[in-house]
């Protein structure tokens, strides 16, 4: 099943470059170790799916994984060899807007070296720089 919204209020959105840093979703809150974005970008549904597959294969279906981003922004693209004008193009795909500091994936229930390797493999599928972050225990 492709990763995309079931329904949206508006079919087409303006592009807007991602600005600022992640205000929420920047700490490891579900798993023990997570993959954190170091710069902002659009991450497509296909890239997210590739990461999910890489993590699951690497962990051999043990442990648990959380995907902390969702592609809810529609991206339009005009057909090839089309003249300019004639209105906004049709929706071509979906992206998640990722800001610096946002936690992308989290894993738990596997030894740390296994988790690190799984997240490293996922990071190679992404168009952004990332780092591996740990859960901070408070109190």
Q: What does the alpha-carbon distance between residue 18 and residue 37 come to, in Å, rounded to a whole number?
A: 13
* Whether pLDDT at 47 is above 90: yes
Express each pLDDT in 55-88 by its tens digit: 999 988 888 999 999 998 888 889 899 899 888 8
Burial class from Cβ neighbours inside 10 Å (0-12, 13-18, 19+) for residue 96 reads buried
pLDDT at 139: 42
> What are the pLDDT digits (tens) for 116-127?
999 999 999 999
Q: What is the set of domains in the chain, with CATH numbers?
A: 33-75+90-134 (3.90.1170.10)
**Dihedrals φ, ψ of 75, to 5°?**
-115, 130
Spatial distance between the Cα atoms of 28 and 36, rounded to a whole number of angstroms: 9
Position 42 pLDDT exceeds 70: yes
Contact (CB, 8 A) for 104 and 124:
no
Residue 35 has pLDDT above 80, yes or no: yes
């Amino acid at each position: 099943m492709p990763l995309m919204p079931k329904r949206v209020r508006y079919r087409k959105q303006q592009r807007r470059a991602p600005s600022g840093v992640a205000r929420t979703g920047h700490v490891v809150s579900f798993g023990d170790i997570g993959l954190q974005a170091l710069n902002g970008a659009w991450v497509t549904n296909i890239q997210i799916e590739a990461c999910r597959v890489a993590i699951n294969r690497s962990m051999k279906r043990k442990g648990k994984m959380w995907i902390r981003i969702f592609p809810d922004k529609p991206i339009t693209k005009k057909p090839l060899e089309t003249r300019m004008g004639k209105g906004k193009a049709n929706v071509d795909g979906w992206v998640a807007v990722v800001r610096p500091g946002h936690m992308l994936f989290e894993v738990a229930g596997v030894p740390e070296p296994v988790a690190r390797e799984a997240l490293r493999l996922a990071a190679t599928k992404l168009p952004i720089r990332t780092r591996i972050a740990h859960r901070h225990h408070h109190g």
